[in-house]
């Protein structure tokens, strides 16, 4: 076991030394773990289907972008391109190919840490050649520091422009849909699917529409196909007797009507004939396929359809607990037919894989130690704290801070758009998810109870424990935090003068030294050293992690966790 720990130590130390080679270190580490799993046994789909007495999902049920590619993946590491940010779908960004695996590519945001890297298929509509945004008048989030020109930028960073012929989406035939930018419709909020809202087509490119919710900011925007089941013509909610969420201007007693709203905005309704919703998918429970593991996107697993709706299917990973099941749109690019991985040269994780490998001592059942809760920066892990599948992390979304952290691209113009929660009104009483004002950060996963509590008047808390409770469950409220900082900084003086940005650069020894200096925490410094917790890992710890995983008593754990909260808020101040 000691040799395994030493191997893991060497891996992470090596990762820190080669930060400039984005993607390559994670690729090397992951291949060390994934490759043996695939080669170890002669596993085949045909034998597995016969053994399970089930069938593969028919090829005809898959869309073209899900099925077997007709050409090879020509992208190479280091190529630069433009692509959609999956966490901010209204924005195209400057990206670099960080890794190539079969027909998939891992993309890196230029100027940002690797924890934000993401995977797409080589034929994805979401990636475009350099200059595409300028040509189509769409927003491009520019790298920091000054003006931007693609040719100059590539020359300065010694990169390479991805050739246009590699982008298969440019060759896709376009069927006139009848939709135009500026048209109004009713659309489902993908982040709050119970809401159908007043929306505008912000852009129409090829057969794709960018949906924007009126009076909300663009963090809720999303692209969809013209045949999407999430968009509806004017009057859909009224006809179906559903609640339509209207812009903030229409608060009682003011009544919303589409006729009046179109007149006020000078807009045009999307014609009803343009809405040609695609038929139900045709998948059935029990069918087998291959699916990307959303918790560890470098992996594709043998999967079974465990439940179905008209336009969605629920995925179960064979050999795993059903607690890892999740829903996907039936046309998701993360779904593929049986044999896809073999065809494109990508490892397939199957249920007969043995997760026991030297140096991969992850305690989570079924986990081979591949991947990390902190993203692609680390290829492996060996503790539950870092495991994407552990009970601690299973339901954690948005663990990595928002990449933009309040930034907005210089290409945006016009008056700033409001936050969704600040403007939300409905023709019926709002659901909890529609709540009241959100915390100042850009995350959208705050709990409904927290939103209602924040309506009350601000007051100074009178105990460290109460402050900690609010920090965790109510979100940040900068106007009052300086009062808490001033008060509780006296109890935790070691945190004063430090910021999360500075702490994020610490190594394990610096973290241990910081913990040792906290009142009553001296004896616990060795724990952080033993678990190899560096600055970034330290900032990601929750109170539960400190108590349950690191086995630190509640008193010291509160002091340690409160210091983390203070460090994070120092950046916000």
d(CA 96, CA 108): 5
Helix, strand or coil, per DSSP, at residue 284: coil
Q: Which CATH architecture best describes the domain 464-572?
A: Orthogonal Bundle (1.10)
CA 114 to each of CA 29, 90, 145, 241, 529: distance values in angstroms, whole numbers, following the listed order:
15, 21, 19, 46, 24
Question: One fold for both 79-168 and 464-572?
Answer: no
Fold of 184-274: SH3 type barrels. (2.30.30)
Q: Quick count: other Cβ atoms within 10 Å of Cβ 318?
A: 15
Q: Which helix (H) or strand (E) holds 292?
A: strand 288-292
Percentages of the chain per state (helix, strand, coil), in multiples of 5: 30, 15, 50
Backbone angles phi, psi at 95, to 5 degrees: -130, 155
Fold of 79-168: SH3 type barrels. (2.30.30)
**In which residue are the tokens 């990636």 written?**
127
The whole-number pLDDT of residue 21 equals: 45
d(CA 325, CA 319): 12
Paired strand residues for 288? 56, 304
d(CA 435, CA 421): 6
Helix, strand or coil, per DSSP, at residue 300: strand
180: left (phi over 0), alpha (psi -120 to 50) or beta: beta
424: tokens are: 């939300």
d(CA 309, CA 284): 10
d(CA 37, CA 357): 9
560: tokens are: 């340690």
Helix, strand or coil, per DSSP, at residue 78: coil
From first to last of the 573 residues of the chain, give the pLDDT tens digit: 444 444 444 434 444 443 444 445 445 545 544 544 444 458 999 999 999 999 999 999 999 999 999 889 999 999 999 999 998 888 999 999 999 999 999 999 998 888 899 999 999 999 999 999 999 888 888 876 556 889 888 888 888 999 999 998 776 656 667 899 999 999 999 988 999 999 999 999 988 999 999 989 888 999 999 999 999 999 999 999 999 999 877 777 678 999 999 999 999 999 999 999 999 999 999 999 999 999 999 999 999 999 999 999 999 999 999 999 999 999 999 999 999 999 999 999 998 765 445 444 688 888 888 888 877 777 788 788 888 888 888 776 656 778 886 554 444 233 334 444 434 455 543 333 333 333 333 333 333 333 333 333 333 333 343 344 334 333 333 333 343 444 444 445 445 567 888 898 899 998 998 998 888 898 999 999 888 899 988 998 988 889 888 889 888 888 898 888 888 876 655
Question: How many residues does the structure list for the chain?
Answer: 573
Residues 57, 100: contact at Cβ < 8 Å? no
Q: How do the domains of the chain map onto residue ranges?
A: 79-168, 184-274, 464-572
Q: Where does residue 506 rank: exposed (0-12), middle (13-18), buried (19+ CB within 10 A)? A: buried
**In which residue are the tokens 């210091």 written?**
563
What own/partner pairs with CB < 8 Å and gap ≥ 24 does 415-420 have?
416/217, 417/215, 417/216, 417/217, 417/218, 418/215, 418/216, 418/217, 418/248, 419/216, 419/217, 420/189, 420/213, 420/216, 420/217, 420/219, 420/220
Rg (CA), the chain: 25
Q: Which helix (H) or strand (E) holds 101?
A: strand 88-101
**In which residue are the tokens 């939300």 written?**
424
Q: Where are the alpha helices (DSSP H) in 196-287?
A: 236-240, 258-265
d(CA 14, CA 312): 42
pTM as predicted: 0.67
Q: For residue 546, what is the DSSP state?
A: I
Residues 297, 314: contact at Cβ < 8 Å? no
Residues 527, 511: contact at Cβ < 8 Å? no
Quote the longest CA-to-CA distance of the chain. 73
Residues 149, 161: contact at Cβ < 8 Å? no
d(CA 434, CA 451): 9
Q: Quick count: other Cβ atoms within 10 Å of Cβ 408?
A: 14
Helix, strand or coil, per DSSP, at residue 90: strand
Residues 573, 481: contact at Cβ < 8 Å? yes
Q: Which residues contact 267 (CB under 8 A, 6 or more apart)?
A: 182, 183, 184, 200
């Amino acid at each position: 076991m000691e040799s395994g720990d030493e191997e893991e130590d060497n891996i992470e130390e090596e990762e820190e030394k080669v930060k400039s080679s984005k993607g390559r270190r994670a690729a090397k580490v992951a291949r060390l773990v994934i490759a043996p799993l695939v080669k170890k046994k002669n596993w085949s789909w045909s034998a597995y289907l016969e053994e399970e007495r089930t069938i593969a999902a028919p090829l005809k049920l898959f869309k073209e972008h899900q099925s077997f590619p007709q050409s090879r993946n020509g992208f190479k590491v280091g190529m630069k391109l433009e692509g959609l940010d999956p966490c901010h779908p209204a924005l195209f960004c400057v990206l670099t190919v960080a890794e190539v695996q079969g027909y998939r590519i891992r993309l890196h945001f230029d100027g940002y840490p690797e924890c934000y890297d993401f995977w797409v298929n080589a034929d994805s509509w979401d990636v475009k050649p350099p200059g595409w945004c300028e040509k189509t008048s769409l927003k491009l989030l520019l790298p920091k520091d000054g003006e931007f020109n693609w040719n100059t930028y590539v020359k300065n960073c010694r990169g390479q422009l991805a050739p246009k012929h590699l982008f298969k989406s440019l060759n896709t035939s376009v069927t006139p849909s009848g939709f135009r930018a500026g048209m109004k419709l009713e659309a489902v909020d993908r982040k709050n699917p119970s809401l159908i809202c007043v929306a505008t087509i912000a852009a129409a490119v090829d057969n794709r529409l960018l949906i924007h919710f009126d009076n909300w900011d663009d963090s809720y925007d999303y692209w969809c196909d013209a045949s999407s089941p999430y968009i509806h013509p004017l009057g859909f909610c009224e006809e179906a007797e559903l609640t339509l969420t209207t812009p903030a201007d229409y608060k009682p007693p003011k009544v919303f009507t589409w006729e009046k709203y179109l007149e006020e905005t000078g807009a045009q309704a999307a014609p009803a004939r343009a809405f040609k919703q695609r038929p139900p998918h045709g998948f059935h429970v029990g069918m087998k396929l291959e699916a990307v593991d959303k918790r560890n996107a470098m992996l594709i697993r043998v999967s079974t359809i465990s439940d179905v709706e008209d336009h969605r299917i629920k995925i179960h990973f064979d050999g795993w607990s059903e607690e890892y099941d999740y829903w996907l749109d039936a046309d998701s690019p993360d779904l593929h037919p049986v044999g896809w991985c073999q065809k494109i040269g990508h490892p397939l994780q199957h249920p007969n894989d043995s997760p026991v490998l030297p140096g991969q001592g992850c305690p989570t059942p079924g986990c081979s130690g591949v991947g990390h809760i902190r993203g692609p920066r680390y290829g492996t892990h060996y503790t539950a704290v870092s495991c994407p599948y552990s009970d601690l992390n299973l339901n954690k979304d948005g663990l990595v801070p928002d990449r933009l952290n309040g930034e907005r691209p210089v290409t945006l113009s016009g008056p700033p758009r409001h936050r969704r929660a600040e403007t939300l009104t409905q023709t019926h009483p709002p659901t909890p998810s529609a709540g009241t004002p959100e915390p100042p950060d850009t995350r959208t996963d705050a709990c409904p109870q927290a939103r209602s509590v924040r309506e009350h008047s601000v007051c100074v808390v009178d105990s460290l424990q109460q402050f900690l409770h609010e920090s965790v469950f109510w979100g940040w409220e900068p106007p009052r935090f300086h009062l808490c900082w001033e008060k509780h900084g006296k109890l935790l003086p070691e945190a004063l003068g430090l910021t999360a940005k500075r702490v994020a650069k610490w190594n394990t020894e610096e973290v241990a030294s910081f913990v040792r200096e906290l009142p009553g925490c001296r004896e616990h410094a060795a724990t952080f050293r033993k678990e190899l917790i560096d600055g970034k890992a330290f900032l990601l710890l929750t109170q539960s992690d400190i108590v349950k995983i690191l086995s630190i008593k509640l008193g010291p754990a509160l002091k340690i966790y409160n210091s983390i909260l203070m460090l994070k808020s120092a950046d916000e101040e």
